[in-house]
Amino acid sequence: MDNLEVKNSYLHWIIYSLPGSVVLYSILVYDLAALGIMRGIMAKKKEKEQVLGIVTQYMKDLSFENVNAASRNEEENNTPQIDMQLKVNVEKSKEKNVYSVSLVTNIQAKTQQPLFILDLTYTGEFVIEGFPDEMLNPILYIECPRLLFPFVRSIIASAVSEGGFPPLYLDPVNFANLYQQQNESLSQTLQ
């Protein structure tokens, strides 16, 4: 496998040449001060290059259950209610500066009766270097899930379509708001 790396001040592109195809990964390498986040911290700590890179990403678990396939014809004209739960799990790897970030998605569609249940766990292994410790959680719970979400969205649309339903295209998720809500709920619990 041949690699070509192209860098500029905000993005780090790695182009992998595989037999018969070229895969382009954009790995976000940015100066958070330039984005207006944590300016004070970044001004003090400019020790080494900051790297946020995807080592690998994969589907850890996928389950699709077509609950009422036999009685589905009578419910086709009804718009289903979609209930989606999304959770971010983070684990530190044994390797230095490598973290495992998983998007755990549970989707249930129903009208009067359940139509389908989809469970997906999609995981990315990320290398994170050069960032201050204060920025590690926001990167792990905001930026890493944001990079994985388009793949989760595509897998869900495909799985639902293959299950005999129209594709389900998820709306974009604001992981910064989810992270903030999680922190607020945790701080209220601790009080």
pLDDT band at 99 (very low <50, low <70, confident <90, very high): very high
**Domain extent for 169:** 54-190
In terms of pTM, does the model score above 0.75? Answer: no
Please, which residues have CB within 8 angstroms of residue 65's CB and are 6 or more apart in sequence?
Answer: 116, 117, 118
Q: Specify whether the CB–CB gap between 154 and 168 falls below 8 A.
A: no
Evaluate the CA torsion angle 40, 41, 43, 49 in order and state its sign.
negative
pLDDT tens track for 35-93? 444 444 445 555 568 999 999 999 999 999 998 765 655 556 678 899 999 999 999 99
pLDDT of residue 84: 94
Is 19 within a domain?
Answer: no
Is 67 within a domain?
Answer: yes
pLDDT of residue 12: 43
Average pLDDT of the segment spanning 158-175:
92
Q: CA angle, corner 104, sides to 99 and 106, nearest 5?
A: 180
Is 27 within a domain?
Answer: no
The total number of structural domains in the chain stands at 1
CATH number at 163 reads: 3.10.420.10
Is 87 within a domain?
Answer: yes
For residue 132, the one-letter residue type is P
Is 25 within a domain?
Answer: no
pLDDT of residue 29: 40
